[in-house]
Amino acid sequence: GAGVSQSPSNKVTEKGKDVELRCDPISGHTALYWYRQSLGQGLEFLIYFQGNSAPDKSGLPSDRFSAERTGGSVSTLTIQRTQQEDSAVYLCASSLAVTSESDEQYFGPGTRLTVT
């Protein structure tokens, strides 16, 4: 079946512009996660959704970052007034359910964001 998809795969933007990143989770997966991976680094947890709800937004790096999910499916991560330090690969993952025994996460291919 289809895996997690993300778009765009690459995004180059000028400093100060807003960007919107999209994630389509695996059908039927109620939990959705956003991570950021800077070059050669590990993953930084940003936010997760259970259904359309994001119980904890404290992982978002600044108030320029926001995320939403509609219809329990597609999610968008929006970065306003982008800065060069926002350059990274943004990974989305989904899992069957927050309370499932394994809650194994399946990752999308990522969006590589470059802020010039």
Choose the stretch contacting another protein; rule: CB under 8 A; options: 10-18, 61-69, 77-85, 101-109. Answer: 101-109
Q: Does 108 bind another protein (CB under 8 A)?
A: yes
Footprint (CB under 8 A) of another protein, residues 40-79: 41-43, 45, 48, 50, 56, 59
Q: Does 96 bind another protein (CB under 8 A)?
A: no
Q: Does 113 bind another protein (CB under 8 A)?
A: no
Residues 6+ apart with CB under 8 A from 41: none
User: Which amino acid is residue 45, in one-letter code?
Assistant: F
Q: How many residues bind another protein (CB under 8 A)?
A: 24
Q: 22 — phi, psi (to 5°)? A: -120, 145
Residue 14 Cα distances to 24, 35, 53, 87, 116, angstroms: 25, 22, 31, 11, 5
CA distance 38 to 91: 11
Interacting residues with another protein (CB under 8 A): 31, 33, 35, 41-43, 45, 48, 50, 56, 59, 91, 93, 98, 101-110
